[in-house]
Amino acid sequence: MKTDDLKKIAAQAALTYIEPKLNLESIVGVGTGSTTNHFIDALGTIRHKFDAAVSSSAASTARLEDLGVHVIDLNAAPRVLVYVDGADEVEPGKAALKGGGGALTREKIVVAASDEFVCIVDDSKYVDRLGSFPLPVEVIPMARSFVARRLVELGGDPVYRDGLITDNGNVILDVHGLNIDDPDALESKISNIAGVVTNGIFAANRVNTLIVASAEGVSIR
């Protein structure tokens, strides 16, 4: 089965999972990326069953609005019932590595503001330990070289993601070679480097519900 087919299956399973929770006052948080795009397409089919969506990126906002979904600013949302997004990696403790699409800061904000984080992945993203996928770190542009040196001191090999400016006007360093044995500690340590906006480890706000699609079917953990 093709990877994109598994992404669609995971996205549809997420819709099936959240639909009974929705009412006409519900606000749904929506992430960014290829798997999430399939969820957005599915969500558009039940847009009459909830109030609005909060989006983590300009790209997701445009896709939602094209489907007739009402999108509001997070500041206008008194409560976000559930946040649905993909991940680049998720480990058994439900810490995730995200940000391959460059939207990690807004994703992390909406996750923190939501009652439940539902993560949807194909089985290739379910790993024993985070770190095979390069860790994205969003950085204020003037601090790029300084932050890169600090990341080298932590054992990483940071690479500037040339040509990408985030929705917040910042840049991304993709850090290769990290052994993320303690996601909570490393998330905090990197975020405390001056000039770092945030990093792609989601451990402080872990996944609550993990939906994994494989050739054998869908598991909800």
Angstrom CA distances, 32 to 11, 61, 83, stand at 12, 9, 11
Q: From 86, 82, 85, select the one nearest 122 (Cα to Cα).
A: 86
Q: Which helix (H) or strand (E) holds 111?
A: helix 104-113
- Whether the CB-CB separation of 210 and 121 falls below 8 Å is answered with yes
Active site residues: 107
At position 34, the amino acid (one-letter code) is S
Q: Are 140 and 102 in contact (CB under 8 A)?
A: no
